[in-house]
Amino acid sequence: MNRAHLARLLERDSEAYVACRRAVLDGATIWISETGQQASTLAHIYARRQRTTRQFGIPTLGFPAAVQELHDRGEQLVRLAAVDVEDPPYHFQLFLNDDVSAVLACIGVDGRTGYRVRPGDQVLLECQVISWESNDFPGWIRASITDAAGRTWSLVEKAPVLGIDLKLHAPLPTTISIRGTVVRELPEDDLDTPAALIVSTAVNGISAEDGTDQFIVTRESVRRLAT
């Protein structure tokens, strides 16, 4: 599909459509799937994603209307498409009919979140600082990462390696972000399980006490690292 044709399909008054059309005309990256999926399946997936974006306070556009549209279309085939803006990072998720002659729904999501990341992207992963292990220079702290299954991974590391500058006796626990790299996205075979990624923390030599340096985490627990 050419850019001008997609822009014409996005000529609607809703905020999500207006913003997406502007992005298309300004040269944003466009992607369209080659095959369709049942609208009812997508309605389930995106209803869950709507709940998680609300839970984590992720700014979005058009989510409720899109989920309702997918629900109403039942078993009809729907093609996914995406429009991605680099700066500021923003992701538009489009839902097209199977012959790609109409945009059925449009969702906008803040691209600084894990919603937009792809394998190889640098991200910031939430990490909880639990306690100071040693005051010896440069300072050693105990921290933890909670994965998508709710398991807590404990690690002990130098404060500078984690990229933090906490004063001694600062109130703990506290949440920080550590650098990681997206290894791959996990398929959403189980619609009741949060969308997940495998993230490696090996970029800074960070690992759990058992040596683990790849973690399955929810998309909502990471933020895309600004370039």
pLDDT at 106: 97
Q: Which helix (H) or strand (E) holds 180?
A: strand 174-185
What single letter denotes the amino acid at residue 142? R
Residue 158 contacts residue 143 (beta carbons within 8 Å)? no
Structure tokens at 46: 């995106």
Q: Report which of 83, 86, 88, 89 is spatially closest to residue 10, judged by C-alpha positions.
A: 83
Q: Residue range 41-66: average pLDDT?
A: 87
Q: How confident is the model at residue 220 (pLDDT cuts 50, 70, 90)?
A: confident
**Residue given tokens 């822009």 in the structure block:** 7
pLDDT at 110: 86
Q: Residue range 12-40: average pLDDT?
A: 94
Q: By mean pLDDT, which of 8-22, 141-155, 161-175 is the weakest?
A: 161-175
Q: Residue range 80-100: average pLDDT?
A: 91
Residue 147 contacts residue 153 (beta carbons within 8 Å)? yes
Counting every residue, how long is the chain?
Answer: 227
Global pTM value: 0.61
CA 173 – CA 42 distance, rounded (Å):
38
In the three-class reduction of DSSP (H, G, I as helix; E, B as strand; rest coil), residue 59 is classed as coil
pLDDT at 128: 92
Q: How confident is the model at residue 12 (pLDDT cuts 50, 70, 90)?
A: very high
pLDDT in tens, 35-48: 999 999 999 888 98
What single letter denotes the amino acid at residue 172? L
